[in-house]
A and B are shown apart, each in its own frame.
Chain A
Amino acid sequence: MAASESDKDFVVFDRVQKSYDGEQLVVKDLNLNIGKGEFLTMLGPSGSGKTTCLMMLAGFETATHGDILLGGKPINNIPPHKRGIGMVFQNYALFPHMTVGENLSFPLEVRNMSKSVREQKVKDALDMVQMGDFAGRRPAQLSGGQQQRIALARALVFEPQLVLMDEPLGALDKQLREHMQYEIKHLHERLGVTVVYVTHDQSEALTMSDRVAVFEDGRIQQLSSPDDLYERPENAFVAQFIGENNKLFGKVEAITKGVATVKLPMGGVVKAKAVNCEHGQDTTLSIRPERVKLGASKSSNATDAKVLELIYLGDHIRCRMNVHGNEDFVVKVPNAAGHKHLTVGETTTVSWLAEDCRALDA
């Protein structure tokens, strides 16, 4: 039991705070436990404190307050080169004056490994990322995707238990980025290494992670699995940040059995699942565009909607409407056989289930 307990708390942030100037906290009271072998993503807009957290874990920034534990031991006073944490940087940070092979050999050399061991490990690591033929090249002779793989191999070659990745795919084009997402995910599954991944790209976070920590304003807004994050956001920021979202503002009139009755400023009344709201308080309602149906259905929120704009996207039609006074209310109409054809300017009816509409904080 003890072992599994420590496996669950492989990396621990315990009430960590960070300030650069002594006036503002960049990281406010961070508590986070990362399990062994887990793929955890820190997701957030720039300036939300996610990279600072990663740098504190790597040892390049010191925590102003609180403890960071790795494998049960506090590491606040251990210099970065003794932490044994692999790291992949946004710009790859491959040493330009060394060949690919020398780059990979570097962490092994500083660990005083023998030449034969080094050569074998370098070869294995290069094969792992399908770059076996590139040992003699210089980083500058490689494409962005190839450099990315080498950076990955270099972070893994000395077999660290924890690998940190700081927006490693930020510099790649969209197609390559998606391809690399799968490769990193598969490598993680194969090696069982713990990965802490920082990104501002939500689709990247959802694709790869076991759990996602959404950062905003120096705090974790929500820490949960990708599907929970999308389907069950706990506050308005997460709902807005992850995926597409329709917002309606209103006031909670009553909460009965977890269902809130929300009165909107325009006079409409909406039933919503009470998640993060209190009686008599303002609330933000969050409805995913794909959960809105055209036409009325029984026991659900139905209202008039005026079609403002139609955008044809192949598999679906994006329809911008005026719903309850919100002119940016988006409905995705699947391009299925016999779907309802709308025209701009017409008024139709839209509806959604009460449990698909989440009443969150204002």
Chain B
Amino acid sequence: MSDVANGPVLAADGTPLKKRLSQALFRSKLRAFGLVIPLLLLILMAFVAPTIVFLKRGVYNDEFAKVMVNSQPLLAAWDVTSEPSDEMYAALVADLVQAREDKTIGRVATRVNRELSGTRSMFTSTARKAAKMEPPFKDALIDANKKWATTEVWEAMKIANKTWTPAYLANAVDLKYNADGSFERKSEERRIHLKLFVRTMEISVIVTLMGILLGYPVAFLMSSLQARTANLLLILVLLPFWTSLLVRTTAWIALLQGEGVMNDLFVLFGLAEDQNRFSLIYNKTGSLIAMTHILLPFMILPLYSVMKTIPPSYVRAAKSMGASNWTAFWRVYFPQTIPGIGAGGILVFILAISFYITPALVGGESGTMISNFIDFHMRSSLNWSLAAAMGAVLLVIVLFLYWLYDRIVGIDNMKLG
């Protein structure tokens, strides 16, 4: 007590004890840090940095502004409602000439085309003629292509001109970003992303629930068996882990397809007509079945590790106090397995929400998930900014659910084994 009153506690040599302690611990802290440095660097370089760079693409795009240097300030200053000025036409022509020379016109054309389809060829063909154009450039341009007179094209260019833009994020949630800075919902037939996000969530939730339903009894069995038998079962559970994801998914194709094993069995037992077989694959059902199977071990392992630590005496105690088997399970055993359900559930859900190889192979049209779309924009349409924006939305959803989970169950309650 008196030490507190007289200021900080001092070590034997008179220095403050806290300082002395941190000096004493410094070396061991340094060594501990040294041990994690290689992994830390790897994560920073190969994971954190690329993630940030790529997420930036979702809100930043200078494909247009970088090339169209003359038009850039004019477009930015343009108020959308007034007619494009002659100065803007002149700048545009100058930029088109330069872009054609630098062979960057394709990129600009693609960028504007994303805002207003059909403008790609208009840009490339006009650029070809631009070198020969003479003032007044407005008429020359309209000569080359009548559409240059419409404000639509200019609005599209204004949107494309913005380097920091919410357009991609808006697109990812089916909103349209207008040149005047307002948002509006896309027309009915163009709203595809939200539907995909909803379907992705739906599939992930169902896979998680199926995992709990199928995994819980298995984990329970394993935890109540003798060590030898339990280990054998554990190997069976882990066996799929040692098999390639692709192989497992392909195996499901063989099992579930129209002429596959499952349907043959259904026909054999008269559960389905030969002409009218179940379509179990290349649709949502296929995605659900294959994903549940592939993700099941991620549910069983945390459940098993939690259940193994629950001594049988709890259930026995409950029974000795007069609880029936069900009451003892539901009131005493089950609540203690919630950390395992939480850990397994969140693990499976997060893995499921970003699943893409399996849905791509067995999902068909109705089993496609958001990751397949991201993949499409990454590799086929090369609209990386939209891919990044959709990834960002997915990330936000996952973080939100994680926060929600923390609020409801508590992250401290999670046990991964």
| Residues of A near any B CB (own CB < 8 A) | 58-60, 79-87, 89-91, 93, 95-97, 106-107, 110-111, 154-155, 158, 164
Contacts and interface: CB of A to CB of B under 8 A. Distances in A.
Contacts of B241: none
A91 to B, nearest CB: 6
A84 B322 contact: yes
Contacts of A107: 321-323
Given A93-B317, A107-B323, A110-B323, 5 more contacts: A60-B319, A81-B324, A90-B313, A106-B318, A107-B321
B410 to A, nearest CB: 12
A97 B324 CA distance: 19
B144 interface: no
A81 B319 contact: yes
A93 B313 contact: yes
A344 B314 CA distance: 55
B336 interface: yes
Contacts of A82: 322
Interface in B264-320: 311, 313-314, 316-320
Contact of B336 (A59, A83, A97, A106): A97
B317 A89 contact: yes
Contacts of B320: 58, 80-81, 83, 85-87, 155, 164
Contacts of B336: 95-97
A164 B321 CA distance: 12
Contacts of B325: 79, 81
A91 B314 CA distance: 9
A182 to B, nearest CB: 24
Taking residues whose C-beta sits less than 8 angstroms from the other chain, chain B's interface range is 10 to 19
Nearest to A107: B321
B328 A91 contact: no
Contacts of A89: 313, 316-317
B351 interface: no
B23 interface: no
A249 B324 CA distance: 55
B234 interface: no
Nearest to B312: A60
A158 B319 CA distance: 13
B332 A95 contact: yes
B327 interface: yes
Nearest to A151: B317
Contacts of A59: 319
A154 B316 contact: no
A59 B317 CA distance: 11
B382 to A, nearest CB: 53
B185 interface: no
Given A81-B328, A97-B335, A110 B316 contact: no
B314 to A, nearest CB: 5
Contact of B313 (A81, A91, A164): A91
Nearest to B334: A97
A111 B335 contact: no
Nearest to A89: B313
Most chain A CB atoms below 10 A, which of B320, B325, B327, B332: B320
B322 A110 contact: yes
Contacts of A80: 316, 319-320
B332 A154 contact: no
Nearest to A111: B322
26 contacts: A58-B316, A58-B320, A60-B316, A60-B319, A79-B325, A80-B319, A80-B320, A81-B321, A81-B322, A81-B325, A83-B320, A84-B322, A87-B316, A89-B317, A91-B313, A93-B311, A93-B317, A95-B332, A97-B335, A97-B336, A106-B318, A106-B321, A107-B321, A110-B324, A155-B321, A164-B320
Main secondary structure of the interface of A (DSSP, over half): loop
B128 interface: no
A81 B322 CA distance: 4
B331 interface: yes
Contacts of B332: 95, 106
Top-6 shortest CB links A-B: A107-B321, A93-B317, A87-B320, A93-B313, A80-B319, A81-B319
A21 to B, nearest CB: 12
A310 B323 CA distance: 57
Contacts of A90: 313
Contacts of A158: 321-322
A87 B336 CA distance: 21
A82 B335 CA distance: 23
B292 to A, nearest CB: 29
A175 B327 CA distance: 38
A111 B323 CA distance: 8
A164 B317 CA distance: 11
Nearest to A166: B313
B102 to A, nearest CB: 68
A349 to B, nearest CB: 55
A105 to B, nearest CB: 10
A91 B322 contact: no
Most chain A CB atoms below 10 A, which of B314, B317, B335: B317
Contacts of B318: 81, 95, 106
A167 B316 CA distance: 15
A79 B328 CA distance: 13
A274 to B, nearest CB: 46
A156 B318 CA distance: 13
Contacts of B311: 91, 93
Nearest to B333: A95
Contacts of A154: 317, 321
A233 B246 CA distance: 73
B228 to A, nearest CB: 14
B335 A87 contact: no
Nearest to A157: B321
Contacts of A84: 322
A108 to B, nearest CB: 9
Contacts of A91: 311, 313
A106 B314 contact: no
A95 B314 contact: yes
Contacts of B331: 106
A95 B319 CA distance: 13
A72 B324 CA distance: 24
Contact of A110 (B313, B317, B321, B335): B321
Nearest to B321: A107
B63 to A, nearest CB: 57
A281 to B, nearest CB: 44
Contacts of A95: 314, 317-318, 332, 336
Contacts of A106: 318, 321, 323, 331-332
B323 A93 contact: no
Contacts of A86: 320-321
A190 to B, nearest CB: 21
